[in-house]
C-alpha cells in the first residue's frame, strides 16, 4: 500500500478545470485563477487592480514504479520539488530543501518536521 502525503491527495481529489476567486473591497481587488489539468498539474495565476501579477506552475510525474515527483516554479524564479516513494521499509518523501520524511511499516516516524 502506498501512503501519499496530504498535499498529493488534495491534488488528486480535485477534478480538472479552472476556478477564479476574487477578494477585496472598493477599488482594490485581487483575483486568482486555479487551473487543474487531468494529469494533476496545477497552474495558479493572480493579479490585482494595481497591475501586479504572480504565477505558480506545479507538475506531477508518476514513474512506472509508482514513485511521485512534484515540481513547482513561480514567476519570481523560485523552484520547489517533492519526491515520494515506498520500499520494503515504508514510505518516504524528500523535498528540494533537504527535508526527509519517512513513515516505516512499524509506525515509526523519522523526520517529518518533528
The answer to whether residue 1 is domain-embedded is no
C-alpha cell at 72: 513547482
Q: How many whole angstroms from its chain centre is CA 10?
A: 8
Question: pLDDT (tens digit, 0 to 9) for every residue of the chain, 114 residues total?
Answer: 334 343 333 333 445 689 999 999 889 999 999 999 988 899 999 999 999 999 999 999 989 988 999 999 999 999 999 999 999 999 999 999 999 999 999 999 999 886
With contact defined as beta carbons under 8 Å apart, do 38 and 21 qualify?
Answer: no
Total domains in the chain come to: 1
Report if residue 72 sits inside a domain: yes
The pLDDT of residue 25 is 87
The pLDDT, as a whole number, for residue 15 is 52
Is residue 93 one of the residues assigned to a domain? yes
Instruction: Read off the C-alpha cell for 26.
Output: 472598493
Range of the domain at 99: 6-22+30-111
Amino acid at each position: 500500500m502506498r501512503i501519499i502525503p496530504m498535499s498529493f491527495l488534495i491534488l488528486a481529489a480535485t477534478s480538472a478545470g479552472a476556478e477564479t476567486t476574487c477578494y477585496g473591497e472598493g477599488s482594490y481587488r485581487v483575483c486568482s485563477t486555479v487551473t487543474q489539468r487531468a494529469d494533476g498539474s496545477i497552474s495558479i495565476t493572480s493579479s490585482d487592480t494595481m497591475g501586479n501579477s504572480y504565477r505558480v506552475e506545479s507538475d506531477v510525474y508518476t514513474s512506472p514504479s509508482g514513485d511521485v515527483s512534484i515540481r513547482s516554479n513561480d514567476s519570481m524564479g523560485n523552484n520547489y520539488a517533492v519526491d515520494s516513494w515506498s520500499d520494503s521499509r515504508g514510505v518516504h518523501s524528500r523535498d528540494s530543501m533537504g527535508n526527509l520524511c519517512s513513515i516505516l511499516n512499524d509506525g515509526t516516524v523519522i523526520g517529518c518536521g518533528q
